[in-house]
Amino acid sequence: MKRTGVAEGVPHLRHAEYPGTISLDSVATINKYFKEKTLNLIIEALTKPIEKEEVPAGAAKGREIVFQGTLKEVNDFFFSNWFTDGLPIIPPTRERVEEFLKYTPLSPDEEVAVLHPSSVRVTPWNIAVNGVMAGCRPEHMPVLIAAVEAIGEPIYNLEQLGSTGGWNMFFVVNGPVAKQLGIQNGIGLVSRGANTVIGRAMGLIRHNLAGHRPGEVYMGTFGYILPPVFAENEELLYEIGWKPYHVDEGFDIDTSTVSVCGTANWGYQMYPTVSEPEHLAQLLAYDVARAGSPNHSVGQQESPRLVFPIFITPGVARTFAEGGYSKQDLKEAVWKNARYTLAEVDFESYYGAHEGQRQTHRDYLKRGKLPERVIEKGKLPTWFPKVVEGEDATIPVAPGPKQLPIFVCGDPTRNKSMTFYTMYNTFVTKPIKLPANWDRRVKDLRCQWECNI
């Protein structure tokens, strides 16, 4: 709350905490805690005089040397000051940072974005610092800058990633840069090569610059994994007559981009084993519905932030293409089949009832009508099904097919799909700004890599 106050221009915002867990406590417990604890804190916050606080005299300057020592001593210092994600870092010396700055046309102090909730003005200099720490190579710098621009867009809603649901960023790199930098699109892609270090760098940027520190602002109940980074198998996409994500979004085929969204899901991979595209689309729709929440879909039906990114392996994509499906056809088929019945929606919970009062819509349907307080004017949104007498009435998981973007990547020998889900973030795509003589530079670097192997 204090950090949110700083972000919103109220640096000395006072807060009153409730000591329990509201969603689990009984009405009696809530009343007891509020009267004995929270009410007194509210009164104190409203009546106690505010004392002016001075800016700390020892505030560090942007390019100040903060520590000197051995590799172990540097890592101990950074860890103890919570500058890291807990893993060892590469010391961000001036020489290393300046090497990164050679790979961007921007000046070191030029504003790239303002990240929330810290409201820190992010520049190429402090992006490079975190890139060095993560183990990135200097030529990864243009990707990092575009990724920071993307998460800094207000529509992306970066500050909401601090929710207790453990929402995480993920990135997709498209265009020629992905291949030039060795960003993987095949088996084990998020755990290999440039994907790993770029993801870690964005995690450190979120941690050190945006102010998302676990247990302080970043409040995921079970924590977070490193932000995953993907690239699409663009050669396969063109082969089957589909387009990569950035081209679908209006970018030129030769433009390199970074796209960012968010998810609370990771790990479950469905393995569809059918060859009929219609049946396959139904299986993907099942996975989409499984990944989301009926109640969230009720509350977010008119929001562009209800997004279900779908990752499919090349073999699955080929099955659809050979069956005559375009990528848009697939999105529409999945959206049409990915639905919840009204009986699955806990309306009393959604409309704010508490312990002992929750009854599912199934109970109301059996009575033949919805409760009067739910059907009052303004309670039901315009998209809500008009027929409520039977249990077959359904709602879509998302407002439309656009909220189900398709990405093709992963092991080309496996029949796999994976559905992400967010209700906090929209997709934001930014072009990657490259320095002069980029093609020559990466060609020379590739020669150096091959000579060192």
pLDDT of 272 reads 85
Could you tell me the pLDDT band of residue 450, with boundaries at 50, 70 and 90? low
- Of 347-356, 385-394, 427-436, where does mean pLDDT reach its minimum? 347-356
pLDDT in tens, 176-200: 999 999 999 999 999 998 999 999 9
What single DSSP character describes residue 422? B
Residue 355, pLDDT score: 40
Contact (CB, 8 A) for 299 and 426: no
**pLDDT for the residue numbered 360:** 47
User: Given this model, what pLDDT does residue 225 score?
Assistant: 87
> Which span out of 42-46, 212-216, 371-375, 383-387 was modeled with the highest average pLDDT?
212-216
Flag whether pLDDT at 403 surpasses 60: yes
Confidence of residue 371 (pLDDT cuts 50, 70, 90): low
Mean pLDDT along residues 303-318: 94
Between 292 and 147, the more confident residue is 147
CB 79 within 8 A of CB 88: no
Lowest mean pLDDT among 10-24, 91-105, 223-237, 319-333: 10-24
Mean pLDDT of 84-106: 96
Can you give the pLDDT at residue 441? 84
Kindly state the average pLDDT of the residues 368-391: 51
Split at pLDDT 50, 70, 90, the class of 30 is confident
The reported pLDDT for the residue numbered 332 is: 97
Going from N- to C-terminal start, the domains of the chain cover: 2-47, 67-264+426-453
Residue 56: predicted pLDDT: 42
The predicted pLDDT at position 59 comes to 40
Task: Assess contact for 166 and 245: CB atoms under 8 A.
Answer: no
Q: Tens of pLDDT along 236-268? A: 999 999 999 999 999 999 999 999 999 988 878
Residue 136 pLDDT > 80:
yes
Residue 236's pLDDT is what? 97
pLDDT at 51 over 80: no
- Does 58 have pLDDT greater than 50? no
In whole numbers, what is the pLDDT of the chain averaged over residues? 85
Alpha-carbon dihedral 117, 122, 128, 132, rounded to 10 degrees? -10
More confident residue, 53 or 411: 411
Average pLDDT over residues 362-386: 51
- Backbone dihedral region of 111: left (phi > 0), alpha (psi from -120 to 50 degrees) or beta? beta
pLDDT score, position 36: 82
Mean pLDDT over residues 277-298, rounded? Answer: 91
Q: Is the pLDDT of residue 378 over 60?
A: no
Question: What is the radius of gyration, based on Cα positions, of the chain?
Answer: 25
E strand or H helix at 230:
strand 229-231
Compute the average pLDDT of residues 76-83: 94
Out of 52-56, 203-207, 293-297, which region has the weakest mean confidence (pLDDT)? Answer: 52-56
Instruction: State both tokens at 303.
Output: 């929001």
Q: Write the CB contacts of 1 (distance below 8 Å, at least 6 apart in sequence).
A: 13, 15
Return the percentage of the chain with pLDDT > 90, whole number: 57
Task: Look at residue 1 in the predicted model and tell me its pLDDT.
Answer: 56
Question: What are all long-range contacts of 439-448, with beta carbons under 8 Å and residues at least 24 apart?
Answer: 441/103, 441/139, 442/139, 442/180, 442/181, 445/139, 446/180
Read off the pLDDT of each residue in 3-15 and give the average, rounded to a whole number.
62
- The pLDDT of 420-427, averaged and rounded, is 92
The pTM assigned to this predicted structure is 0.83
Determine the length of the chain: 453
Q: By the 8 A CB rule, do 45 and 20 touch?
A: no
User: What are the tens digits of pLDDT across the range 203-238?
Assistant: 999 999 999 998 888 888 888 889 999 999 999 999
Residues 409 and 192: beta-carbon distance below 8 Å? no
Identify the band that residue 365 occupies on the pLDDT scale cut at 50, 70 and 90. Answer: very low
